[in-house]
Amino acid sequence: MDWTSAPITEDAPLEPAHRRFLSPRILAPFSAVFECIEAFLEEQRAQLPLWFTAAFATGIAAWLWLPDRIGWSAAILLGLGMTAGGVTLGAGRTGRALLFGGLAMVAGCGLIWWRSELVAATRLDRPQVVAFEARVDKVEARAAKGDVRLTLVPEAPGMPPLVRVSVPEEDVASGLGDGAKVRLKARLQPPPPMALPGSHDFARDLWFAGIGGVGRVEVIEPAPGGGLDALRDRLGRHIREQLPEGAGGIATALATGDQAAVSEEDAGAMRRSGLAHLLSVSGLHIAAVVGAAMLLTLKLLALSERLALRFNLVLVAAGAGALAGVGYTLLTGMQVPTVRSCIAALLVLGGIALGRDAISLRLVAVGALVVLLVRPEALAGASFQMSFAAVTSIIALHHWEPVRRLLGPREESWAARMLRGIVGLLLTGLVVEIALIPFALYHFHRAGLYGVAANLIAIPLTTFVIMPLEALALMFDLVGLGAPLWTAAGWSIEAMLHLAHRVGEAEGAVAMLPTMPRWAFALMICGGLWLCLWSGRVRRWGLVLFAAGVLGAATAPVPSLLVTGDGQHLALVRDDGVPVLLRSRSGDFVRDLMSEASAYDGDPLALEEQHFARCSRDACVADLVEKGRAWRLLAIRSRNRIDWTDLTRACADADIVVADRRLPRACTPRWLKLDREALERSGGMAIYLGERPRVATVAGRVAAHPWAG
């Protein structure tokens, strides 16, 4: 039964249960409000199913956000309370909205809670060197890093069910793939926790993937495997052999979904220019593959008059497009964005086959619901959020009446049609960029500001030039005639990379933001959903919610001090926003991590080079001034023995002490002591100094979720 059906009429008056138990005097003050809500929901009845998916996602988000079982249980009780309220109100729109919304929220929260328990598996609790045999479950070549990442199923008692290891590329036997048997000796360690509050939570990803340890190994006596992983690896190698290094990495990503072959320099330029989405096999790529398969099938079959008269060729072409989309999804490793896009494409093709509106918000809602039912943890990922935000904003824009009037078909000259097409592209690009900026700032602390202009060139270039040339080149390689097409594809990719580098290096191309408060991010999402899912003037109130979220994000403070959970890495943020590192030889990951968390678009400097710091081989002392208050930091940076008297005296003279070792109890700074023992409990930290100093910790962020350890 459609819960949006059966409109209220005078012949079927609303007689909810609460009116039978409460007196008119009690109900009188609320009746006008209730009738207004009922009238509003009746007017918006076509939009109500969309909010079912939103309520389901809210339940999942509540579990991810709330800290522990008490909070998760409270979210479920809230949903049950909404359900009970809906039952009490009866069969009206309000009652049914509360009933189904509450049930959806309970189902979402319960589903991800249940799944988190279902995937629970043995995890390493400490680093260890282990020799064992294993079966290869997945192979991921990372050409840009010179290694191959293997997901293994250990065949040894007491080991996690899955481990992920990196192997130098030169040590990998040819043909290593699915099902291969390997014998190895590896230094494994527990899944890495969130490095800083607000950074990416790798431990959460590995928990839901069932991976209990990570490390780096040398493979001994590997046996070759096969399957799609081996095919994907061979295809990637073949593509990179045909093209220069930079273009080869991009072409591999477009064909197989493997971004590991893209160099850090090119990947950074794509991110800064707002073109990084082109490297992830998702809606654009699936649409191109499905569209090409449909067009080719339709044109070839239409050459036969008998087939054209006897069969519905559009339906046949839709079937061919579906097969092409599924095959491409399998080839690219069935990553979440690809699976999600394939589901959406199949729903569109189903709509075409049934003669229904193929592109609608209901389609997006169904696609999101299917993905969340299978992988509820995908909601926390940037890929899920950004792709659905982009698609939802595009459809909402083109269903908005002023835009429909502007871009709708009409009799006009080709020049006017082309001009309106360009306007449509610009509007679509602008709306998508605005929709994606909050997600980029929340997850990556940066957002490209010139992405609209860059995408206006790069998307048509990728869809209509690069991908067709690459597909044709692979086809003609079967008969040894693909070289000219590879040359043309290489030129096209180089043109896109040139665009990415030029846009990414432009002044003001990137906006940076420190860790955004989660409540501000939630307000922006709620505002965006309100704008997109309601119709009519009421949707404008979403701008208020969105603006409140923007204000909260814009006023997020930059931390004064950043400390990783192992105590080895520390960044002090200067007054001008530049982070300075305790260890100047830190790797790229740590340098990028500290820059992003500090909202700094550049490379950090060394603490020992600053005029306010005094550093020796063993430690650094830095004097800071925040809001008129002086602070002294003592950071230990070596494992050498330090005289007990000197150490305790230095501790007493400092406000904050940071070390990756255990410090003696006599080391008592004036405010904060962060040694190994303290950091094992708290994890990474962001420290905000000033009039009201406060500390944000990874432990507080992850709380009692199962991957916390």
Q: State how far the Cα of 700 lies from the Cα of 709, in Å rounded to an integer.
A: 13
Give residue 398's pLDDT band: very low, low, confident or very high (50, 70, 90): confident
Look at residue 517 and give its three-state secondary structure. coil
Look at residue 653 and give its three-state secondary structure. coil
Residue 339 has pLDDT above 90, yes or no: no
Query: Range with the lowest mean pLDDT among 252-266, 375-389, 551-565, 627-641?
Result: 252-266
Provide the β-strand partners of residue 619.
636
Query: Range with the lowest mean pLDDT among 375-384, 426-435, 674-683?
Result: 426-435
Q: What is the reported pLDDT for 606?
A: 93
Q: State how far the Cα of 709 lies from the Cα of 698, in Å rounded to an integer.
A: 12
Of residues 344 and 560, the one with the higher pLDDT is 560
Residue 350 has pLDDT above 50, yes or no: yes
Of residues 381 and 13, the one with the higher pLDDT is 381
Checking DSSP bridges between strand 510-512 and strand 570-573, what pairing results, if any? unpaired
- For 45-70, what is the mean pLDDT? 94
Cβ count near 606 (within 10 Å):
16
* % of the chain exceeding 90 in pLDDT: 36
Q: What is the reported pLDDT for 505?
A: 83
Q: State how far the Cα of 599 lies from the Cα of 603, in Å rounded to an integer.
A: 11
Of residues 279 and 622, the one with the higher pLDDT is 622
* % of the chain exceeding 70 in pLDDT: 88
Give residue 66's pLDDT band: very low, low, confident or very high (50, 70, 90): very high
From residue 139, alpha-carbon distances to 175, 251, 260 in Å are: 11, 19, 12
Asked if residue 255 lies in contact with residue 235, where contact means CB atoms within 8 angstroms, the answer is yes
Q: State how far the Cα of 78 lies from the Cα of 17, in Å rounded to an integer.
A: 21
Instruction: Please state the pTM of the whole predicted model.
Output: 0.84
Q: State how far the Cα of 144 lies from the Cα of 141, in Å rounded to an integer.
A: 9
130 Cβ neighbours under 8 A, 6+ residues apart: 156, 159, 185, 186, 188
Q: What is the reported pLDDT for 9?
A: 45
616 Cβ neighbours under 8 A, 6+ residues apart: none
H/E run at residue 634: strand 629-636
Tokens of 179: 């099902």
The candidate with the shortest Cα–Cα distance to 293, out of 251, 322, 260, is 322
DSSP per-residue codes, 534-546: S-SGGGGHHHHHH
H/E run at residue 130: strand 128-142
Q: What is the reported pLDDT for 176?
A: 66
Give residue 491's pLDDT band: very low, low, confident or very high (50, 70, 90): very high
Q: What is the reported pLDDT for 27?
A: 52
The highest-level CATH class for domain 128-225 is: mainly beta
What is the dihedral angle through the alpha carbons of 286, 288, 290, 295, rounded to the nearest 10 degrees?
180
- For 576-581, what is the mean pLDDT? 92
Q: State how far the Cα of 171 lies from the Cα of 219, in Å rounded to an integer.
A: 7
- For 671-680, what is the mean pLDDT? 93
- For 556-560, what is the mean pLDDT? 93
Q: State how far the Cα of 68 lies from the Cα of 695, in Å rounded to an integer.
A: 20
Q: What is the reported pLDDT for 220?
A: 57
Q: State how far the Cα of 660 lies from the Cα of 652, in Å rounded to an integer.
A: 18
Give me the residue spans of the domains in the chain.
18-118, 128-225, 381-448, 518-554, 561-708
DSSP state of 226: B
Q: What is the reported pLDDT for 282?
A: 63
Asked if residue 469 lies in contact with residue 234, where contact means CB atoms within 8 angstroms, the answer is no
Cβ count near 382 (within 10 Å):
15
Residue 309 has pLDDT above 80, yes or no: no
Q: What is the reported pLDDT for 11?
A: 45
Q: What is the pLDDT of residues 504-537, one digit of tens each?
A: 888 777 888 999 999 999 999 999 999 999 988 8
Q: What is the reported pLDDT for 614?
A: 92
Q: Residue with structure tokens 């497009």? A: 321
Query: Range with the lowest mean pLDDT among 103-107, 137-141, 190-194, 211-215?
Result: 137-141
Q: What is the reported pLDDT for 194?
A: 92
**Residue 444 burial class via C-beta count within 10 angstroms: exposed 0-12, middle 13-18, buried 19 and up:** middle
H/E run at residue 346: helix 336-354
Q: What is the reported pLDDT for 12?
A: 45
**Residue 623 burial class via C-beta count within 10 angstroms: exposed 0-12, middle 13-18, buried 19 and up:** middle
Range among 155-159, 221-225, 588-592 with highest mean pLDDT value:
588-592
Q: What is the reported pLDDT for 34?
A: 79
Check the CA dihedral 680-685-689-691 and report its sign: negative
DSSP per-residue codes, 554-608: HTPPPPSEEE-TTSS-EEEE-TTS-EEESSTT--HHHHHHHHHHTT--S--EEGG
Check the CA dihedral 352-357-360-363 and report its sign: negative
Residue 224 has pLDDT above 60, yes or no: no
- For 606-628, what is the mean pLDDT? 90
Q: State how far the Cα of 607 lies from the Cα of 610, in Å rounded to an integer.
A: 6
Q: What is the mean pLDDT of the chain?
A: 84
Q: State how far the Cα of 234 lies from the Cα of 261, in Å rounded to an integer.
A: 13
Q: Residue with structure tokens 């190698």? A: 237
